[in-house]
Amino acid sequence: MLMMLQKIRDDGALALAEALKTNSTLTTLKLQRNLVRLHGALALSYTLKTNSTLITLDLQNNDIRDYGAQALGQALKINSTLTTLDLWNNMIGDTVAQALSEALKTNLTLTTLGLQNNKIGDTGAQWLFWVTTGNKPELMVMCHEQFKMVIISDQIVKDGSLPLKLAWTKPDSYR
């Protein structure tokens, strides 16, 4: 379902989340540039915990920020069907990258995570790097078999390597 530029806001996201609870056919939901904020992201994340048909959720250019993205990360720990989550340009930072990396330790279905044009810095990039390389610092590439692509800030890492300073240093609290 393509609903780009419809200005559905949180109320529209809440209605869609409610409809997704009983959905058995919709596999793609694109809500780019719809002014979705925290409450809309929370509703969608709650629904992702039980929805078993949605494989693509595109929330590009909204305003879900850290708390909304963290809620989506929590949903990824439970969801087993979503393969693509696009959070491009949502004002999210390093704490979200950490939460997402924690979710990706157990989520085996997500293959594409879009995080371009956010506030994710070196620390967040490290979190994502370590989880997607399967905790093998000698590889220094995004080669984890479950992950095709990670987009961080304005840098696209695909079958390549992160800058060496990121590749050699684990985040302080990485387990």
- Give CA 90 to chain center in angstroms: 11
DSSP conformation class of 2: B
The pLDDT value recorded for residue 3 is 56
Sequence spans of domains, the chain: 9-167
pLDDT tens per residue, range 18-70: 999 998 899 999 999 999 999 999 999 999 999 999 999 999 999 999 999 99
pLDDT tens per residue, range 63-110: 999 999 999 999 999 999 998 899 989 999 889 888 888 888 888 888
Name the architecture of domain 9-167.
Alpha-Beta Horseshoe (3.80)
Sequence-separated (6 or more) residues with CB below 8 Å from residue 66 = 91, 92, 93, 95, 96
What's at 156, amino acid-wise? I
Report the C-alpha gap between 28 and 61 in whole angstroms.
Answer: 17
The pLDDT value recorded for residue 6 is 66
- Write down the residue that tokens 């060496």 correspond to: 164
DSSP conformation class of 142: S
